[in-house]
Amino acid sequence: MLALVPGCGSDSRDPLVVLGPWTGEEGKAFEAALDKLDDGTGRTYTYEGTRSLRETLVSQLEADDPPDVAVLNSIGELTEYARRDELKPLAEASAERAYPPWAPTLLVDSRRRTYWVPLKVDLKSLVWSKRGASSARPTWCVGLASQATSGWPGTDWIEDLLLHQAGPARYTEWATGRLDWRDPAVERAWTTWATLLGKRSPASVKRSLTTSFEGSADPGGQPRGLLASPGFDCTHEHQSAFIRYVYAGDDVTVEPSAPYLDGQSAYRDAFEVAGDMAAVFSDDPDAQQLVERLSSPAGRELWWAEADPAVRPLFPDTAGLSPPASATPVEREIDSLLSSRARTLCFDASDVMPPELRDAFHRAVLEFFRDPTQRQLDSLLQQLETVRVQVNTDSGIDHTFRPPQDMCA
């Protein structure tokens, strides 16, 4: 965990605590932005960065010691916290920056309220490849390990396939718990994934299950990326825009995933997106002010300026803003896709699902990768359907705090 205390005033009150997912160079850049942020309150800030974000936040809430502000990537988790009355509705200035599909409103007490705002976003539905690699017969890199969230690179595949094969409307039904997991469109996404990956040896399967999505480490301990990792004889990788940090300086290209997914031409311009959203957990009015400043154009500019080029954040609603002169070709391509050509943006489905269902999805992907047979798939989809029904039953007849149905924009 990264715990850093920047100073921006001499106020003697306790510092505001911000809990977030960024560590390493990303965490340093965010901390530096906090250090220079003048929000007018004179407060100081403590930033706690961890990759075990859910576990850390749950522990803090159970100890009745939540952070003032937390930054999460899961709409499902944020909705859960709102349902428990642990989130505070955002002040108007921040709520105005709740860009769809990252920050839909929730219906609470017959009023639409905004509980979080995106600070940083990521574009998914991308394929990375070694420059010059043929797209005719790609061999796919797969690394599924990610500590407590192992399996999510596989769920990204399933989501992207379903989006491009069945379209945004069906995708939204599925993401928001209104579509049976045994539906033919869902099943087809899983079987297509198995077909695209092809037959793999037991050694290859084990390597993918135990290797991080970042790839193996180089002699200096830095991740190489799967395309450059020994033992991975592959030419293409299905991964989000954030992975560019491991390929900084490498001769790689990035392109939309749609041409590889056996989807419909009508959905070629659909893209999955993810985001890191800020929510307020305390009654301190300065926490609201901090979120307002972080989500402002001035806050974005500070953060972007402090970040290393390989980890520069992407922001929502940047259409019409040209990339800076220092932007790399990969950054320019991603910016073009995000702001110009991505006509339909759909929030990551598993990050919309309630945590119980999302976690079951992660585990199912790992099991299917081990044994991609029809019998195994039938069993896994039945298990996931059982979880979906149970979650819906547990929510009762009051669907006030369930994730909204407008997950595409």
| Residue bearing the bigger pLDDT, 283 or 328 | 283
Q: Which residues contact 15 (CB under 8 A, 6 or more apart)?
A: 5, 43, 44, 45, 46
HSE value, Cβ hemisphere, 13 Å, CA-based, for 81: 28
Residue 31 is assigned to a structural domain of this protein: yes
Check: CB of residue 279 under 8 Å from CB of residue 78.
yes
Q: Which residues contact 73 (CB under 8 A, 6 or more apart)?
A: 21, 274, 275, 276, 277, 348, 351
Q: What pLDDT was estimated at residue 383?
A: 99
- Exposed e or buried b for every residue in 308-326, given b needs 16+ CB within 10 A? eebbbbbbbeeeeeebeee
pLDDT per position as a tens digit, 45-65: 999 999 899 999 999 999 999
Query: What's CA 321's distance to the chain center, in Å?
Result: 23
Which is it for strands 111-113 and 106-108: parallel, antiparallel or unpaired?
A: antiparallel
Q: What pLDDT was estimated at residue 276?
A: 97
Q: Is pLDDT at 4 greater than 50 in this prediction?
A: no
CATH number, domain with residue 26: 3.40.190.10
Residue 45 is assigned to a structural domain of this protein: yes
Is 207 strand, coil or helix? helix
Check: CB of residue 48 under 8 Å from CB of residue 17.
yes
Provide mean pLDDT across the span 315-338. 77
The stretches of 11-74 forming alpha helices (DSSP H) are 24-36, 53-62
Continuous segment of H or E residues that includes residue 184 = helix 184-197
pLDDT per position as a tens digit, 260-316: 999 999 999 999 999 999 999 999 999 999 999 999 999 998 998 899 888 889 998
Could you give the number of structural domains in the chain? 1
Q: What pLDDT was estimated at residue 21?
A: 95
Q: Is pLDDT at 396 greater than 90 in this prediction?
A: no
- In DSSP terms, which residues pair with 106 in a beta bridge? 113
pLDDT per position as a tens digit, 203-262: 999 999 999 999 999 999 999 999 999 999 999 999 999 999 999 878 899 999 999 999
DSSP letters of 349-400? HHHHS-HHHHHHHHHHHHHHHH---HHHHHHHHHHHHHHHHHHHHHT-S--T
Q: Is pLDDT at 5 greater than 50 in this prediction?
A: no
Q: What pLDDT was estimated at residue 342?
A: 64
Check: CB of residue 260 under 8 Å from CB of residue 128.
no
Q: What pLDDT was estimated at residue 170?
A: 98
Written as one letter, the residue type at 331 is E
Of 69, 99, 77, the closest CA to residue 291 belongs to: 69
Residue 162 is assigned to a structural domain of this protein: no
What's the maximum distance between 2 C-alpha atoms anywhere in the chain? 64
pLDDT per position as a tens digit, 156-206: 999 999 999 999 999 999 999 999 999 999 999 999 999 999 999 999 999
Query: Could you tell me where the beta strands, DSSP code E, fall in 131-269?
Result: 140-141, 236-238, 252-256
Residue 112 is assigned to a structural domain of this protein: yes
Check: CB of residue 153 under 8 Å from CB of residue 208.
no
What is the model's pTM?
0.92
DSSP label of 87: S
DSSP label of 341: I
Domain range enclosing 58: 2-122+274-338
Check: CB of residue 148 under 8 Å from CB of residue 52.
yes
Q: Is pLDDT at 326 greater than 80 in this prediction?
A: no
Structure tokens at 324: 């800076």
Neighbour count for residue 92 (Cβ, 10 Å): 10
Residue 233 is assigned to a structural domain of this protein: no
Residue 89 is assigned to a structural domain of this protein: yes
Check: CB of residue 336 under 8 Å from CB of residue 343.
no
Q: What percent of the chain has pLDDT over 90?
A: 73
DSSP letters of 147-177? GGGTTHHHHHHHHHHHHHHH-HHHHHHHHTT
Question: How far is the C-alpha of 261 from the C-alpha of 268, rounded, in Å?
Answer: 10
Residue 318 is assigned to a structural domain of this protein: yes
Residue 343 is assigned to a structural domain of this protein: no
